[in-house]
Amino acid sequence: MNIIVVGIGKVGYTVAEQLSQEMHDVTVIDTDEDAVNDTLQDIDVIGVIGNGAVSKTLLDAGVDECDLLIALTNSDELNILSCLLAKQLGAGSTIARVRNPEYSNDLRLIKDSLGLTIAVNPEKEAADEILRILKFPTARNVNIFGHGKVDLLSFSANKRCNLCNKAIKDSFSKIKTKALVCAIERGDEIFIPSGDFVIQENDTVAVLTPEKTAPEFFSQIGFRTTHMKDIMIIGGGKIAVYLAKNLNHLNVNATIVEKDLDTALKLSYELPHINVIHGDGTNHSLLLEEGLKKSDAFCCLTGIDEENIVLSLFAKSVNPAVKTITKVNHTLFREVIKTLDIDSVVYPKFTTASIILKHVRSKTARDGEGDVENLTRIINNKVEAIEFQVSPDSALVNCAIQNLTLKPNILLGTITRGDTVIIPSGADVLMPGDSVVVVTSTERLSSLDDILE
């Protein structure tokens, strides 16, 4: 596909990089000449210096021949205008980043009126991810598939986990809850495991389970499941606002600590059910005074990665039982963070990239009729979980799974058929209309049939 990315900030760069890696023709636009030149040195793209909301700049970038324009600047209004112009100038489809919480209720109207394919909001997506983690505090990360009927959870196999030092097929024979281990990270290695694989202590394990069964599953493998009652949030930015608006559904006590007085005052009016504190989140005495020692969860959502990481480590030192959730923007810290005592890390730009990649994969599937329903990257962004809808003409229809020859490092995870979630055995068959979750550590799949040798 011929794709234009407007805005080369953290999110724009990540999206351009991943699209380039998937062999698409990518052109980047930005007013910052240094940002464009640095991007050209790092990844295989074409660069245009200019305003992506000006028709001349868009035409210079080839908008009249592009299949997709993605506007990811820091200005919602510029993104919307860029997409509107691009459609008028001949772009096939458009995606805009719209971040302002004030626009959240009007996103559908904006999208329909302007002909946007997707209106993506990284901050809201990150808040939704954090909310899912708070619902399943034992998990490091949580993703939803099968139209909400399947949970994909990753967790660290510590000494309490009774899955350790046993073959998966043996340990799971004693578990009553339906679940499937679909990926494992051990050090720098990634495994798509068979039943003979032996989980070791400190492995990161990803599991697919039917909805609402995760607490029972974690209990059966030796983890204590708890309900979050007291939550402390450091930083009152957009993610915190989206998160706080949904926390009242969890029946929790939440506190936001915000350094800027004007922002704190605004939050106190906008979020009457939240305890808003004007103060510096790096002030340890303030955190202790506001109840860090009794908090069940500690969410670091400031705009400074280093601050979020250090505060999470401090929270663990004061309250070892607290669930720490840390927002990180730069990927340079990923390998270091793996070695630290931080429970969950949220990367908003990866969430955004996954949403866009899902759309692109679907558009590039056979005959232009994509069957990609969902896509996310898990286990430190090294494994893809992709949900496909089974089309009537798929080569997999009515074939027993045991008779299929799959490519290496691919696992056929769950089958959602109506309201039923199936953890497949070799005798199960796929039917048209099924939703299937496929997990892979090597392939970039655009179609379900791509899993076959």
Question: Which of 250, 211, 244 is closest to 227 using CA atoms?
Answer: 250
Q: Which two tokens stand for residue 198?
A: 């032996």
Residue-wise pLDDT for 184-214, tens only, equals 999 889 999 999 999 999 899 999 999 889 8
In this prediction, residue 101 carries a pLDDT of 73
CATH 3.40.50.720 residue window(s) in the chain: 2-120, 230-346
Q: How far apart, in whole angstroms, are the C-alpha atoms of residue 431 and residue 256? A: 48
Q: Contact, 420 vs 211, CB < 8 A? A: no
Q: Is 428 exposed, middle or buried (0-12, 13-18, 19+ CB in 10 A)?
A: middle
Residue 106 DSSP SS3: helix
Residue-wise pLDDT for 135-158, tens only, equals 888 899 999 998 889 999 999 998
Residue 440 DSSP SS3: strand
> What is the residue whose two structure tokens read 């800027």?
260
Q: Which two tokens stand for residue 448?
A: 């379900």
Mode of pairing for the β-strands spanning 180-186 and 204-210: antiparallel
In this prediction, residue 142 carries a pLDDT of 92
Q: How far apart, in whole angstroms, are the C-alpha atoms of residue 417 and residue 233? A: 39
Residue 108 DSSP SS3: helix
Residue 285 DSSP SS3: helix
Q: How far apart, in whole angstroms, are the C-alpha atoms of residue 120 and residue 138? A: 28
Bridge partner list, 422: 415
Residue-wise pLDDT for 49-104, tens only, equals 999 999 999 999 999 999 999 999 999 899 989 999 999 999 998 998 888 777 76
Q: How does residue 107 score in pLDDT terms, banded at 50, 70 and 90?
A: low
- Which residue type does 416 have? T
Residue-wise pLDDT for 305-337, tens only, equals 999 999 999 999 999 999 999 999 887 667 778
Q: How many CA atoms lie within 13 A of 189 on its CB side?
A: 8
pLDDT score of 367 more than 70: no
Q: Which two tokens stand for residue 157?
A: 């196999």
Q: Is 314 exposed, middle or buried (0-12, 13-18, 19+ CB in 10 A)?
A: middle
In this prediction, residue 417 carries a pLDDT of 92
pLDDT score of 341 more than 90: no
CATH 3.30.70.1450 residue window(s) in the chain: 365-451
Q: How far apart, in whole angstroms, are the C-alpha atoms of residue 231 and residue 294? A: 9
Question: Which of 65, 47, 13 is closest to 331 using CA atoms?
Answer: 13
Q: How far apart, in whole angstroms, are the C-alpha atoms of residue 137 and residue 296? A: 9
Strand order in the sheet with 46-49: 46-49, 25-30, 2-6, 68-71, 93-97, 118-120
Strand order in the sheet with 410-417: 372-378, 383-389, 435-440, 410-417, 420-422
Tell me which CATH homologous superfamily contains domain 230-346: NAD(P)-binding Rossmann-like Domain (3.40.50.720)
In this prediction, residue 72 carries a pLDDT of 94
Q: How far apart, in whole angstroms, are the C-alpha atoms of residue 66 and residue 102? A: 31
pLDDT-wise least confident of 28-42, 57-71, 376-390: 376-390
CATH of domain 2-120: 3.40.50.720
End-to-end CA distance of the chain: 25
Q: Contact, 156 vs 323, CB < 8 A? A: no
Distances in Å between the Cα of 65 and the Cα atoms of 43, 59, 68, 90 are 22, 9, 9, 7
Residue-wise pLDDT for 420-441, tens only, equals 999 998 899 999 999 999 999 8
Tell me which CATH homologous superfamily contains domain 365-451: Regulator of K+ conductance, C-terminal domain (3.30.70.1450)
| Burial letters 409-425, b for 16+ CB under 10 A, else e | ebbbbbbbbeeebebbe
Average pLDDT, the chain: 89
In this prediction, residue 362 carries a pLDDT of 75
Bridge partner list, 384: 377, 440
Q: Is 317 exposed, middle or buried (0-12, 13-18, 19+ CB in 10 A)?
A: exposed
Percent of the chain that is helix, strand, coil (3-state, to 5): 35, 25, 35
Q: How does residue 369 score in pLDDT terms, banded at 50, 70 and 90?
A: very low
Q: Which two tokens stand for residue 285?
A: 């005495």
Question: Which of 422, 363, 383 is closest to 24 using CA atoms?
Answer: 363
Which is it for the CA torsion 397, 403, 405, 408, positive or negative? positive
